[in-house]
Every structure is written in C-alpha cells, then in structure tokens.
Amino acid sequence: MMKPFYLLLALTLLFVACRKENFDANSPKDGQVISLFVDHYITGGDGHYFLNTDRNVKLNTYVQNFERELGYTYVIKAKVVRPNQPPQDGPSYWFEYQATLNKEKYVGKDTLTLPVFGFVAPSDAVFLRKVNGTLLYLSTKLIPANDNVKATLDSIYNAAPQILDKQPRPNFALKVQYAPNDYSSYIVHSVKY
C-alpha cells in the first residue's frame, strides 16, 4: 500500500523539479535563470541576444560580465537582473552572465548590414571610428573592398558629426562580410544610403 504512495510522491517531485519556468520578455522575474542564444555579430548598440528556446524572440538588452568573440555563436546561461529603480536612460532589466553552454564558430558567408548611426542610451551615436588611421566599426577593423568604398567611408567618417545632427538623418549602412580567416575584420563591399 505504501509503494504506490512513494511512487506517486517521487513522480510528483520529479515533475516539479523538471518543470521549466516560462520567461516573459516584457516582465521577467528578477533572479530567473535562462539560456540565451548570442549571434555571431553586433550591429551598433544591438548585441543580438535571443531566447535560446525561441530564437525569434530578440531581447533588447545586454549581458553583464560576458566576453564574446565575434564570429562565434553562443548559448549561455544568464540570470535576470531587474532593479527596483531601473536607470532612466537604460533597459528595465539586463542579464548577468553565468556560464557558456556552447560556442561554435560561424561558417556562413552571409553579407551583413551594419548601421553607421544609431541610438545608444542616452543619445545618438556614430559606430565608425578611427584608431591610428584604421577605420573601425565599433572595435572591428574595416577593410574597404576597393578605392571607391574607401573614399565613401572616409567621407562619411569625416562628416559624421554634421550628419549626426541632421533631422531626418540619412540611413547609412555598410554591407560587409567577415574577412577570410579573420573574424576580427570586415570587408566592406558597399555603403548604402
């Protein structure tokens, strides 16, 4: 008579332990731990974080203490941080990195579209910069595919402060691919506007 009771108790405990808590991107629970998919590239202020269980759900926030390497996709475990008083110029929640569950080198040859201008709280931003004469997109080296692309990039970089103040601002975007065997650089094939 006690065997069925213990079996039912064990099954109930197993069910409760294995049940996954749903994640609500509009109202996450502070301290909730979930797995995130991290895409292989960044566009401006967008880190390309998605729910791992539904990669169509993009999360417009960031992951604290996570060091990523461009050119790799990740599945990570992260904990929701939802302060009682979120910053006025930031997200209402973010994630704190816990562990890397999977890391894979991206092997595709897709052309990526990267915006030149955007918004990073609390203001508009230019994602092109120059260090020692080398043009960068955020921290990724840009290699112009030809002299025309190089001239256009230099022109946009030099005019960026004036362009940033224009309303409405032109939507400049770079069409890039990873440099062969060097995912720390992009080849810029064209500039769209």
Task: Give the pLDDT confidence score for residue 42 in this predicted structure.
Answer: 83
Paired tokens of 50: 């998605």
Query: Are 188 and 127 members of one domain?
Result: yes
Find the domain containing 80 and state its range: 30-105
Query: Are 116 and 137 members of one domain?
Result: yes
pTM, entire model = 0.76
Name the domain count of the chain. 2
Per DSSP (E only), the strands in the chain are 33-38, 49-51, 58-59, 63-64, 72-81, 94-105, 112-115, 117-120, 123-126, 128-131, 134-137, 140-144, 173-179, 182-192
Let me know if residue 21 belongs to a domain.
no
Query: Are 44 and 68 members of one domain?
Result: yes
Task: Give the pLDDT confidence score for residue 3 in this predicted structure.
Answer: 60
- Of 79, 105, 131, the one marking the end of a domain is 105
- Of 74, 105, 136, the one marking the end of a domain is 105
Task: Give the pLDDT confidence score for residue 81 in this predicted structure.
Answer: 95
Give yes or no for a cis peptide into 180 (omega within 30° of 0).
no
Among 35, 88, 83, 40, residue whose Cα is nearest residue 59: 35
Task: Give the pLDDT confidence score for residue 19 in this predicted structure.
Answer: 45
Let me know if residue 161 belongs to a domain.
yes
Query: Are 178 and 116 members of one domain?
Result: yes
Query: Are 145 and 99 members of one domain?
Result: no
Let me know if residue 45 belongs to a domain.
yes
Let me know if residue 41 belongs to a domain.
yes
Query: Are 82 and 129 members of one domain?
Result: no
- Of 105, 122, 156, the one marking the end of a domain is 105
Query: Are 138 and 169 members of one domain?
Result: yes
Let me know if residue 40 belongs to a domain.
yes
Per-residue pLDDT of the chain (193 residues), as tens digits, is 556 555 554 555 444 444 455 888 888 999 999 999 999 988 877 888 999 998 988 898 999 999 999 899 999 999 999 998 888 777 889 999 999 999 999 988 889 999 999 877 777 889 999 999 999 999 999 999 999 999 999 999 999 988 888 888 888 999 999 998 888 899 999 999 8
